[in-house]
Amino acid sequence: MKILENDGITIESSEGEKHIYFVLALITGDNLGLNGILGMVESFSANYFCRFCKMNKTDTQNVNTECVEECALLRDPVNYKKDLQLNNYVQTGLKEECTFHDVPSYHMVDNLSVDELHDLRESLCNIVMIHVITNLISSKYFSLEDLNNRMLIMVQNIP
């Protein structure tokens, strides 16, 4: 990646020779894989498991529901470096320096990729849908029995 960014490659096109440089902008994957490849702890029961912020596990479980970003807790290159120097993953969530830091344009704190399946489909979306369905039932748009019957019909019609 470092060679591709620094030196690039030369290709032949119908318009002649072109020199192309690459930039590592984002690394994607599931949460466990990303934490591992970026040098973070790979346990989500760890005290500091988040790639984006430095909120303690206990605080994440008691955080208010207003979704207010606390800028002081966000990871940045400065506090990342200080955390690495502590060399204590229990207090920081960092096991080792991210190997991709050898690439000039890349820093793991700027890698804002989320795990769409685990973070949304298996977590947030389920929680939201529970509230939506509960509200629709309590507002008498339909009953739980109607919903269950419709779902049963849909399942029976699946080939």
pLDDT tens digit at each of 159 positions of the chain: 999 999 999 999 999 999 999 999 999 988 889 999 999 999 888 999 999 999 999 888 877 666 677 899 999 999 999 999 999 999 999 999 999 999 999 999 999 888 777 666 666 777 788 889 999 999 999 999 999 999 999 888 887
Q: Residue 31's pLDDT is what? A: 86
Q: Assess whether 52 and 106 both reside in one domain.
A: yes
Q: Assess whether 92 and 34 both reside in one domain.
A: yes
Q: Assess whether 100 and 146 both reside in one domain.
A: no
Q: Residue 83's pLDDT is what? A: 97
Q: Assess whether 119 and 108 both reside in one domain.
A: no
Q: CA 138 to CA 14: how far, in whole Å?
A: 65
Q: What is the pTM of this model?
A: 0.69
Q: How many domains does the chain have?
A: 2
Q: Give the residue numbers spanning the domain of 52.
A: 2-114
Q: Residue 8's pLDDT is what? A: 95
Question: What are the C-alpha distances in Å from 89 to residues 20, 80, 94, 102?
Answer: 39, 12, 5, 21
